[in-house]
Amino acid sequence: MQPHGCRLDAPSTAWLPFPLDEVTSAVTGDMTCDVAIVGGGLTGLSTALHLKTVEPRIDVVLLEAGRIGYGASGLNSGQCAPRIGPAVERQVRSLGPDFAHAAYAYSLDAVELTAGLVNTCGIDCDMREAGQWQVALRDTDAITLEKRAAVYRALGFDVPLLGVDVLRASLPDSRRIRNAIAFPARLLNPGRLCVGLKRAALERGVRIFEYSRVLRFARDTGALHVDAGSIGASRVVFAVDGSVGSIDGLDTFRGTVLPVAAFAAVTRPLSAAERDVIGWRQGQGMYDARPMFNFLRPLDDGRLLIGGGYRHAPGEKVDLDLRTRSAPDLTGQLSLFFPSLREMTADRVWHGLLGCTLNEWPIVKALDAERRYWHVGAWNGHGVALAVAVGRDLAHAIAGHTAMPSVPWACPRTTSLPPALVRAVLPLYLGWLRHSSQLNI
Ligand SMILES: Cc1cc2nc3c(=O)[nH]c(=O)nc-3n(C[C@H](O)[C@H](O)[C@H](O)COP(=O)(O)OP(=O)(O)OC[C@H]3O[C@@H](n4cnc5c(N)ncnc54)[C@H](O)[C@@H]3O)c2cc1C
């Protein structure tokens, strides 16, 4: 069976062997539970796992449309890094320094929480502390990063700005990088993180159903309908990030959560001589200050990963031709960072689906006054640590320990646009961003 929304190219990602682990069964009839979680990415897995940890008697069912590990949570670049919402200088301007401080502090804790969870669950996902540099290739971006580092310092955070001497010592091949901000971060294998969390959740008694896509939500009864049955639950958590608008009954989100596809490519393993030229021995993750081609990291087997190239993906569908076109696009970007890799081609290319909002804040929201139904997601591409942390906080709220998840932000202001307008305007906006991000060698 080829489930809708599950990528045929999944076995070719950098992270997971195929088949990766034993598939759990699909839903085959009607059932009931205390809490149903829709979506088996990091948000859903963390919520389920933490619910069983804080209240083992709660009967938790997790429904995943495809295989766990083959959504964005298992396909991303594995940079478990802080930061949340719009750029920190914009947060200070519009929401004040106390708010910006609390938001960044939350994201720092989220990184530690994720690292702690990996350790306590004994998950083998090659996690290492490598840091993440946000780098500027253009003068305008260098000025932005200079100001940004000053804002973090004024808020009391140790987020150093790295100048040319440090950059050349670490990345001798890259003359183009003007400056960088160094964030604390872990690098890990996201596919194995998901599979490890799935195992931990199963061990704690979560009932996981793969290949069980929720097609419809009946808000009056709370029932979730899948192809072969329905699930009645006292509480429901929608943790599907960019796919929330594709569930009948949640159409209201179609103009709020914008589904965007992000592409990633890996190169062949670099030779020792090639590695010597580029340096990068610390192996930190990198994040470009430009909006469109913006994440890089070395992999343990000597290959490099580069990603970005965002496209609007209404109905989760992405033109497969784009994958072929993205390969040279992304490896072309690689040579901007490392000119010696000018001839590098992509070994593999894949994409994953992101949920984005216009105000760039994630959504953590009860859908009804009784707080029976929740919507959590739209991480705007920064979900690895945040999804895990919010899963914990939501679990505490559902278990009755807190009224609301204790996140420092709330998103009632999330702008909703008519879907027709989004369909027309977003591709143009992304196209414009792509154009303005282009740099020639
Ligand atoms: C290429 C790429 C690189 C990225 N790099 C990074 C990075 O380095 N660092 C970082 O922090 N973030 C990164 N991200 C973003 C990060 O992966 C996401 O923010 C995060 O994984 C979102 O987790 P989630 O659980 O909310 O959503 P998802 O991982 O999208 O999980 C949602 C799950 O719901 C399932 N689903 C959808 N609809 C239904 C339905 N109707 N019924 C049942 N199940 C359904 C999907 O199959 C999916 O498995 C990257 C994303 C991509 C695509």
Distance (angstroms) between ligand 1 centre and the Cα of 159 equals 27
CB of 379 closer than 8 Å to CB of 84: no
pLDDT of residue 424: 79
* d(CA 241, ligand 1 centre) in Å: 6
Each residue's pLDDT tens digit, 82-103: 999 999 999 999 999 999 999 9
Nearest atom (ligand 1) to Cα of 381 = 15
pLDDT per position as a tens digit, 283-307? 999 999 998 888 999 999 999 999 9
Mean of the per-residue pLDDT values of the chain: 90
Asked if residue 223 has its Cβ within 6 Å of ligand 1, the reply is no
pLDDT at 354 over 60: yes
Residue 72 Cα to ligand 1 middle (Å)? 3
Closest residue by CA, ligand 1 atom 2: 76
For the chain, give the longest Cα–Cα distance: 64
In short, whether 257's Cβ falls inside 6 Å of ligand 1 is: no
In short, whether 380's Cβ falls inside 6 Å of ligand 1 is no
Cβ neighbours around 8 below 10 Å, total: 8
| Ligand 1 lined by 262 (C-beta under 6 Å) | yes
pTM above 0.75, yes or no: yes
Helix (H) or strand (E) holding 151: helix 139-154
Domain 10-76+191-257+359-417 adopts which CATH fold?
FAD/NAD(P)-binding domain (3.50.50)
Domain boundaries, the chain: 10-76+191-257+359-417
What is the number of the ligand 1 atom nearest to the C-alpha of 382? 11
- CA of 227 from ligand 1 middle (Å) equals 22
The CB of 309 under 6 Å from ligand 1? The reply is: no
255 CA to middle of ligand 1, Å? Answer: 19
pLDDT digits (tens, 9 = 90+) for 245-282: 889 998 777 778 888 999 999 999 999 999 999 999 99
pLDDT-derived band at 319 (thresholds 50, 70, 90) equals confident
Nearest CA owner, ligand 1 atom 25: 41
Q: Is the peptide bond before 19 cis (omega within 30 degrees of 0)?
A: yes
Is any atom of ligand 1 closer than 6 Å to the C-beta of 178? no
Would you say 363 and 370 are in contact if contact means Cβ atoms under 8 Å apart? no
For residues 247 and 217, the answer to whether their CB atoms sit within 8 Å is yes
Ligand 1: centre distance to CA 240 (Å): 7
What residue owns the CA closest to ligand 1's atom 53?
352
Mean pLDDT, residues 351-363 taken together: 90
Q: At 126, is the pLDDT very low, low, confident or very high (cuts 50, 70, 90)?
A: very high
Distance between CA atoms of 327 and 346, rounded to whole angstroms?
Answer: 6
How many A from CA of 73 to the centre of ligand 1?
A: 4
Beta bridge partners of 259: 355
Q: Is the CB of 377 under 6 A from ligand 1?
A: yes
